[in-house]
Amino acid sequence: MKESKGISHFHAGFWTVGLFIVVFLCTCNGDITYSVPEEMKKGTVFGNIAKDLSLSVKGLSDRKARIDMEGNGRRFFDLQGGQLAIAEIIDREELCGSKPSCSLNYELVLENPLELHQITLQIEDINDNPPRFPKSEIRLEIRESAHKGERFPLDEAHDPDVGRNGIQNYSLEKNDYFRIDVNSHSNGRKYGELVLNKELDREQQQQVTLLLTASDGGFPQRSGTAVVRVIVLDANDNLPVFSETVYKVSLPENSHLGTVVVTVSATDADEGANGEITYEFSHISDKEARLFSINEVTGEINMIGTVDFEDKNEYELWVKAKDGAGLASNAKVDVEITDVNDNAPVIYIKSLNVPIPENVASGSEIGIINVQDKDTGGNKQIRCTIQQNVPFKLNPSIKNYYTLVTTAELDRELISDYNVTITATDEGSPPLSSSKTIHLSVSDVNDNPPVFEHQSYSAYVTENNKPGSSVCSVTARDPDWRQNGTVFYSLLPSEVNGFPVSSYVSINGDTGVIHAVRAFDYEQFRSFKVQVEARDNGSPPLSSNVTVSVFITDENDNSPQILYPTPEGNSFMTEMVPKAALSGSLVSKVIAVDADSGQNAWLSYQIVKSTDPGLFTIGLHSGEIRAQRDISESDSMKQNLVISVKDNGQPSLSTTCAVYLLISDNLAEVPELKDMSYEESNSKLTSYLIIALVSV
Ligand SMILES: *[C@@H]1O[C@H](CO)[C@@H](O)[C@H](O)[C@H]1NC(C)=O
Ligand SMILES: *[C@@H]1O[C@H](CO)[C@@H](O)[C@H](O)[C@H]1NC(C)=O
Ligand SMILES: *[C@@H]1O[C@H](CO)[C@@H](O)[C@H](O)[C@H]1NC(C)=O
């Protein structure tokens, strides 16, 4: 509680304390303690963590420095740059009640490598609460026969502040009958006892009313008052006496409602109403009042709420036994709460670097996991595991932190994501466990070159193709992701017959379809090779090459060509046939060639017209002209044949030629021949011709 009149002093005090913020730096374990007064304004900077850890502000941010705390507790401050600044006003009394020391524990987490520093905020009390008495009037009944020097305990005042800011003194209004004696409990708490200074006389004064003041030792000092009303009694009376001054009990947390904590008991030597004892709590906080009740008559203390070890593990209850005359004495009940394994471990994923590039080295740190269990002892010991069949493991790190690391190389093309289940089990009995599944995706790296479906390709193109017609298509596959797996095709530069390959074929970069750029001529060249490159769109790109062999196939585009008899120039060329030629004798031969190949060049010969059909015949494929019967005198001397030479293409092409035969033994009989044979001896011409035929 703050009083408005104390505010200006309070600020003065705040600044005074503010100057004394002390930093204890212990470099031995990297733990830092900051001493921080409660009630500081938002934004107040109280520490420079960068300086205290000798790290640069950039180093802190690069290593993702952050403040973690146990469970879901409140943070109260922020890390701003390298400094720690108040983010929420801290009320020490709310956090720590009457504990003499109040500290908050945090962890400063740095990643890569994981590093932890314990940060402790020691919350310093400021005197923001005045002492207060439970009731504004304290009623005491004291017999008139009481002796000088007898003592009567007074109700205590309560001040949530601690140390010097807690209650330091009680004072009593000046009067004739009583003085006050201030004593301390074993725990240091001060209480006052009224001491009789001058014997009372009921007949003279039935009541004494006094102002009691409790004051703390803070700066500024605060105080609270109550009125003590002493009723002077006629009868003899004794104080109640507890069987023990301190009752110690222990109680498992989560005990059922109604559980008997302890039964306190006091006796009073008096008889009747003066010996009738009632019990009550003499000093109880609101919270304790919701958990414990005391039976006024029996002194039995029961649970009326649920105690939680994790919330508070010890209670100090003050009980008062009061007799009918209002005389009272106090005893203390120390209740220790013992832990039950009622909290499963909690898994916190403190950091996760996903997606994981598939090329990370085995052993890389990809996440930080923290496990916590609010229980204590073995109930707090945690084992943390993940399933076996994944390329990850948990490495125990500092305290209850684990790093999640890879144990093998990853291949996105094989497995692109993992569900990893983390299981944390405590060592309680029975143990409690919890689990959490995290999804780890693997991101692509351009680690696969495109691969052609075939080691090489062959394409067959019929000559006289149309320019632009497709020749063949190549396909390469790349299992990488998106652009890393997008394939483009191109021709590698080379020459075919002295011309760039691009003047023969082109390739569609997207589809891999190869087109002819011009018409091919089988008779010019029959095949050529093209190198095709497939390249992905990664950076850097990967590529592979393949050879495409293009074979040009023949088309029947050439007619047979007559070599003999010479078609042009000399249509007078005449063969001599001896008059005595017999059936079957060779008289001449037609020689023809065809520029095409195969069937397109397979020639057949036929006589299509003759002077004397039946006299000569021609070999279908040899082109040899033979007498079909013996030559006789009656046969005409001049014999003309028209020969057709035909190839076997589809459709076939043909040529015709004429052969002139002269049945004669005497060259002189051939007037036409004279013109052409002037340079040769007549007698030798026949044999020359025959030799020529044979050699062809
Ligand atoms: C991981 O879990 C999610 C959600 O349950 C599911 O869609 C996905 O298929 C799982 N992945 C694997 C690799 O098991
Ligand atoms: C392709 O691979 C590179 C590394 O080689 C990577 O940085 C990039 O993210 C990948 N692209 C996609 C779309 O996955
Ligand atoms: C493909 O061929 C080109 C030209 O010869 C060469 O530079 C490149 O290294 C080859 N690429 C592969 C993957 O063999």
pLDDT single digits (tens) 436-447: 999 999 999 999
Query: Can you tell me whether residue 190 is helix, strand or coil?
Result: strand
Q: For residue 520, what are the contacts with CB-CB under 8 A and spacing of at least 6?
A: 461, 463, 464, 465, 504, 552
CA dihedral 152→157→158→162, nearest 10 degrees, is -80
CA distance 526 to 550: 8
Q: Does 430 sit behind a cis peptide bond, omega within 30 degrees of 0 on the bond before it?
A: yes
Give CA 49 to chain center in angstroms: 29
* Secondary structure letter of residue 641 according to DSSP: E
Report the separation in Å between the CA atom of 491 and the middle of ligand 2, taken as the mean of its atom positions: 26
Best substitution site from 417, 445, 487, 539 to test ligand 2's pocket, by max atoms within 8 Å of Cβ?
A: 445
Pick from 9-13, 294-298, 417-421, 681-685: least confident: 9-13
Report the separation in Å between the CA atom of 442 and the middle of ligand 1, taken as the mean of its atom positions: 13
> Is the pLDDT reported for residue 358 higher than 90?
yes
User: From the CA of 441, which ligand is nearest?
Assistant: 1
538 lines ligand 2 (CB under 6 A): yes
Averaged confidence pLDDT in the chain: 86
* Secondary structure letter of residue 65 according to DSSP: -
Considering only residues 623 and 693, tell me which one the structure prediction assigns the higher pLDDT. 623
Q: For residue 136, what are the contacts with CB-CB under 8 A and spacing of at least 6?
A: 226, 227
In the block, which residue shows the tokens 């004669």? 664
> Is the pLDDT reported for residue 200 higher than 90?
no
In the block, which residue shows the tokens 């301390």? 184
Best substitution site from 448, 488, 491, 492 to test ligand 3's pocket, by max atoms within 8 Å of Cβ?
A: 492
Q: How confident is the model at residue 20, as a pLDDT?
A: 39
- Percent above pLDDT 70 for the chain: 89
User: From the CA of 534, which ligand is nearest?
Assistant: 3
Give CA 324 to chain center in angstroms: 73
pLDDT band at 570 (very low <50, low <70, confident <90, very high): low
**Nearest CA to 677 among 574, 565, 562?**
574
Which numbered atom of ligand 2 lies nearest the CA of 484? Answer: 1
In the block, which residue shows the tokens 């013992």? 338
CA distance 21 to 685: 136
Six-digit token pair at 160? 């949530």
User: From the CA of 531, which ligand is nearest?
Assistant: 3
Query: Can you tell me whether residue 591 is helix, strand or coil?
Result: strand
Report the separation in Å between the CA atom of 519 and the middle of ligand 1, taken as the mean of its atom positions: 56
> Is the pLDDT reported for residue 619 higher than 70?
yes
pLDDT in tens, 495-553: 998 999 999 999 999 999 999 999 999 999 899 999 999 999 998 999 999 999 999 99
Q: How confident is the model at residue 8, as a pLDDT?
A: 31
Predicted TM-score (pTM) above 0.85: no
pLDDT band at 270 (very low <50, low <70, confident <90, very high): confident
Query: CB under 6 Å to ligand 3: residues?
Result: 492, 533, 543-545
Report the separation in Å between the CA atom of 189 and the middle of ligand 3, taken as the mean of its atom positions: 90
Q: Mean of the pLDDT values across residues 43-56? A: 90
Report the separation in Å between the CA atom of 124 and the middle of ligand 1, taken as the mean of its atom positions: 50
Report the separation in Å between the CA atom of 162 and the middle of ligand 2, taken as the mean of its atom positions: 61
Q: Mean of the pLDDT values across residues 178-188? A: 87
CA distance 84 to 43: 9
441 lines ligand 2 (CB under 6 A): no
Q: How confident is the model at residue 448, as a pLDDT?
A: 96
- Of all protein residues, the one whose alpha carbon is nearest to atom 1 of ligand 1 is 419
> Is the pLDDT reported for residue 3 higher than 50?
no
Q: How confident is the model at residue 672, as a pLDDT?
A: 53
Q: Mean of the pLDDT values across residues 145-169? A: 88
Q: Are 600 and 647 in contact (CB under 8 A)?
A: yes
Q: How confident is the model at residue 346, as a pLDDT?
A: 94
- Of all protein residues, the one whose alpha carbon is nearest to atom 7 of ligand 2 is 445
Report the separation in Å between the CA atom of 361 and the middle of ligand 3, taken as the mean of its atom positions: 29
